[in-house]
Structures are given as C-alpha cells and as structure tokens.
Amino acid sequence: MLKKKVITIFKLWLNGIFYIGIRYPRDVEKNAIVKQMHAKYSKTHSCWYVDYTSDAYTLLKQHFKEIIIDSTPPFIESLPAVTGIQGRDLSPIANSTHQLSAEPALDTDHKTMNTSFAHSAKLQLLKNVGKYWVFKMNYHAKISKQLLAIKGVYWNSNYKVYMVFRHPDVKRKVEAVLQTNSFFGSDYYQAETNLKGEELTVRPHAEDNNWMEVFVPKKVVAHEAIKRLASARYSKIKDCYLLPAAPAIFEGIQLLIDSLELTLINQLPPSYLHAQKLPNRKSLDLTRTKQHLFEHIPEKGVPWISNMVDYLLALNYSTNTLRTYTTAWAQFLRHFDFQDPETISQKEMISYLGSLMEKGLSSASGHTLINSIKFYYVQVLGKNSFDLRLPRPKSEKKLPTVLTIDECKRIFDVIVNPKHKLLLLLGYGAGLRVSEMVNLQWKDILFDEHKIHVKNAKGKKDRMVMLPFSLVESLKFFRQMYPKHTYVFDGQYAHEPYSTRSAQEVMRKAILRSGLQKKATVHTLRHSFATHLLESGTDIRYIQEFLGHASIKTTTLYTHITKSAVNHIQSPLDRWHNNLNQDLLPEP
C-alpha cells in the first residue's frame, strides 16, 4: 500500500457523458495506478477520468486508502428536451456504491438555465498578461468554438485560460459571444505606447547581492524591453525582474530608460555593482535548475535535497545530471514522507523499487533511481562500506527509430522557415544532439577545415565532427544576415541560444506536415545520420568518434538496424526449399 493514497473524485460531464473525475497532486505512482484502470486524461479539465460505473468506483476504493468526494454539481451545457422533460442529470457522487450502479433517474427538479450565461459559466477575469486580457470559464463546447473563431482569441492549454487581444473590436465580438457587457476594461494595448514620466526602480536584492531587483511600469512595452536584457528573469514572489548586479547590465538598463523616456529611481547603495557579479550561462542554468528543484519540496525535506544538490554542484556535474539525480532522489524521499534517509531500511528500499517496477516503471528510470539512491548513501553520507545490494532492473533491448533518406528529405522539404530548416539540416548532416545544435557558436564552425568543434558536450567532452559541404554557403549567407549574433541559432533574446524545446517543436510540426507515421524527434535525425553512414560503408570506429560515444558497444547498436546488410541476408529455409509455396498451395 502506498502512503497517503488520497485522491479527490467528482462527477465530470465530458462530451455529453458523465464520468468519474479523479484529481490529486502530481504523483508518478498514482499516475501508474489510474493508467492500469484504463483511465484517460482530460487536458481541458486537468484531471483523470474513468467510466461512471460501480465497478470503476469499487476499483478506486481498492487502490486508494482515502477518497475525498467533491459533490459540487458539474457544469452542463443545455441539452435537448427528452420525452417532454426539460433535461436530465445524474445525482452527485455520494459515499454509497449503489448510486454508481443505479440507472440515471429523471430529475424532475431540474430546470433549464434561466440565468445569464456569464453567471452559469462562472466567468472570471484574471490579471492581464502582456497585450492580452485573460479569463476562464466552465467548459462549453459551442461557446468555446465561437470564441476561438474570433481573430485575437487564443486558448492557453497550460493554464486552461482564454487570452484575448486588448483591442476594441475583439472586445466587442467576445463580449457578444459571452452574452455580457463591460466584462473587459478599456485598458487597450494601443494606449501603452507612451511611457514618458513612468518610473523604473532598481533596488538591491536582499537574498543575494549578486542580483538587483528591477521594478518596471505595468506596461507591455516596458516588460518586453526588460526581458531582452541578458540574464533577466522574473520573480513572482517579488513581482519584479532580477538581473545580475553588474555595470554592463546597469548600462543596458540606462539605455532602455533613455529609449522609452522612463524616469530612473536608483536605490542601489554605492559599490553594489561589480563586474564579477555577471554570471556565465552555466551559472545561470544551474541557478534556475536549483530554484526549480526546490519549488515543490516541503520544508522538512529541504535538508536532504540540499545535501544532494550541494554535493553534485561540488563535483561539477552537469545541469542535466543535477536535475535527473535530484528529481529521482526527491521522488524516493516523497514516498517515505521525507523522513531521515538514514532511518530507511534496505528492505523498504527494495520493496519501493519493486512496487514501481510492478506499475510499469521503465528500466532506464529504475537505473536512474538506484544510481541516485546509491550516490546519496555512498557519496553524500560517505558510507563506503555500506552495500545497498539493490536489484538492478533488466534493461529493455529497444532499437531506436530511424528515418530513411527519403523520409528525411520529406521532413526538410516541408519546412519553410530558413532558420528552422538549417537547424535540422545541420543536426542531421553532422549527427549532433539537440543541445549541441542550439549551443553552437559561430566561432565553433571551422569553415576552412570543414569541421565543427563541439564543445562541452555530453560527459563534458569536446569533439570534432564534419561540416557538410552542402551547408557551407547557406551558413555563410546566414552569418552575413546576422553578423552580431554569438550563437548560430539565436534565441528569443539577444545573446541567448535557441531553446531545445523550440527545436523539438520545429521537428514535431515538420513531422506532422510531412505526413509521416513514425514517432520521430530531433534525436531521431542523429540516429538516422549514424545508420546512413554505416549503410554507406563508413567504418564504425569513425562513426563512434563522430557521435562522441565513449564505448564502441553503444555505436554497434546501429548494426542491428542497417537495411543494406539485412536486405541481402537470405533465410536458410529459402536456400534449400525454393518451391515451398508450390508444395503448400492447393493444386488447381
């Protein structure tokens, strides 16, 4: 049994059918349980759901120690009249199991909505985000379709809200659909271009004097401008931007003030600014990762997580390793309610790992979890003589997805944006990882030698890879267009690299437009690069060097998926019995 197996269930109306909705804080173990019950996830309602039956309810009670029942009636859009009755509904989920098995009875007390749509849909206007009004409401299929048909209205799937461009025409159309007046204010986007006289305040950051707090006017133009300064990040707690307390950054703020005609309120003490406070990109990544890791850790678990983070940082491990190990360690401690790790027995550890494997945890995730546990006990606590003797889950022998040359061409042909096309072409042509693609700088491309110097790659290793001859002219032309760029593929803000998420999104959209049925990612291009080289007769040791594999065993994986060799292998049955089909087929 899991500890604290608590969930909340409620009656969910979805696509004209009632379901049992299931909600709980994000939990990998609970996800595995509800998946075994064939539950589905609704992005619209941010919950899992199963059939509205007594069997489903019984299964929930068997798997979860405590169930909280939310009896709030669900929002239901108007239904057509049925045999003279205005509508029908099921009663809310109750503690009784009989209710779930009972046939839905007609509710004679049910009435059609005679109140306004704004009231029934529970319209709620939220804080503006940039140039958009933001609001949320109960789901209504017909109204949602009408809203999204209006130019300037967008659905944000992450936060489950509608975003409306702050313009008078858009406001009028949206309010007509919502059947309400004056729902939005008159704070239109066009009214924010004049910032003359507005104040920008700079203060010291009490928690860390390497940073300074920048408070900007509540205008989109000001926010967009400050975000373009290097290393700027927003603090929700303080409702301001945090920037490195370096003279170069402060000069950038002053230039920004002059261009927008803002008034500077400088509250920094003398000598607060210093050049050494300007962090490098690695420092920024580590700071952001560390901040993210502690967001969902309760206070009693902070010491054990801090020990892990501090030791990983001291050993100069990469950001990815810091994130992976600490996340796995936090998952382990969460199961034991963040108790002191030294009080957890080896038997409890094995039981926990076994339960995860039973729920379908992959062997790769299992190895990561074991590695993080052993790292903490052996490295952090210094228990060198302590042998955990944890069982290693058997690894699945999975072959990577590989695209044919024709499939690669189909993907590249549907990409219109030159930057996006060059990004994927270079990744395929040089066999680069997605992180290597986006972090590539112009100084790393050796045009005269037709090589690319990949620096600080996986395992903190450098290597030389080929620069495809077919891309040289395109790269030179691209560099002439953006001569001041540091990175080959600059990101949204100046002197920042393109994000890996954006690169993956480019690939995802290209796959959709190409019509390919294979599930491919940017890394699939790297697999395809290696496979195509091997098929053309390239020595596998050269391919190992190009890919940066520490062991030849990793590279030999591609020998199992090369088509040229496999297609020429004949079954022994075919060699000695060529007329087998004639023997098996009936005589005419």
Q: Is 63:5 a contact under the CB 8 Å cutoff?
A: yes
Q: Is 390:350 a contact under the CB 8 Å cutoff?
A: yes
Q: What is the CATH number of domain 117-192?
A: 3.90.1150
Do strands 211-215 and 233-235 pair parallel, antiparallel, or not at all (unpaired)? unpaired
Q: Is 217:200 a contact under the CB 8 Å cutoff?
A: yes
Q: What is the CATH number of domain 199-279?
A: 3.40.1170.30
Q: Is 243:249 a contact under the CB 8 Å cutoff?
A: yes
Q: What is the pLDDT of residue 284?
A: 67
Q: Is 372:366 a contact under the CB 8 Å cutoff?
A: no
pTM of the model: 0.50
Paired with 212 in beta bridges are 204, 243
Q: What is the pLDDT of residue 280?
A: 66
* Total residues found in the chain within this entry: 588
Residue 78 reports pLDDT greater than 60 = no
Q: What is the pLDDT of residue 2?
A: 44
Give the pair of three-digit tokens for residue 478: 């691209």
Distance in angstroms (rounded) separating the CA atoms of residues 258 and 567: 68
Where are the domains positioned within the chain?
Answer: 6-101, 117-192, 199-279, 282-380, 405-565
At residue 333, φ and ψ (nearest 5 deg) are -70, -35
Query: Helix 500-514 vs helix 405-413: angle between axes, to the nearest 10 degrees?
Result: 100
pLDDT-above-90 percentage for the chain? 18
Residues designated catalytic: 433, 458, 523, 526, 549, 558
Distance in angstroms (rounded) separating the CA atoms of residues 212 and 206: 9
DSSP code at position 537: T
Q: What is the pLDDT of residue 103?
A: 40
Distance in angstroms (rounded) separating the CA atoms of residues 328 and 322: 10
Distance in angstroms (rounded) separating the CA atoms of residues 31 and 578: 53
Kindly state the helix (H) or strand (E) to which residue 63 belongs, with its residue range: helix 54-63
Amino acid present at 530: A
Determine which of 219-228, 413-422, 438-447 has the lowest per-residue pLDDT on average: 219-228
Kindly state which CATH superfamily the domain 405-565 is placed in. Answer: Intergrase catalytic core (1.10.443.10)
Determine which of 12-16, 141-145, 317-321 has the lowest per-residue pLDDT on average: 12-16
DSSP string, 198-254: -EEEEEE-TT-TTEEEEE--S-HHHHHHHHTSTT-EEETTTTEEEEE--HHHHHHHH
Give the pair of three-digit tokens for residue 314: 């001291």
Q: How far is CA 145 from CA 149, 512, 537, in A?
A: 6, 23, 55
State the alpha helices, DSSP H only, in 375-492.
405-413, 418-430, 434-438, 472-481
Span 97-124, mean pLDDT?
51
Span 68-93, mean pLDDT?
52
Give the pair of three-digit tokens for residue 222: 């000001």
**CATH class belonging to 282-380:** mainly alpha
| Range among 142-151, 155-164, 222-231, 530-539 rated most confident | 142-151
Residue 396 reports pLDDT greater than 50 = yes
Distance in angstroms (rounded) separating the CA atoms of residues 431 and 426: 8
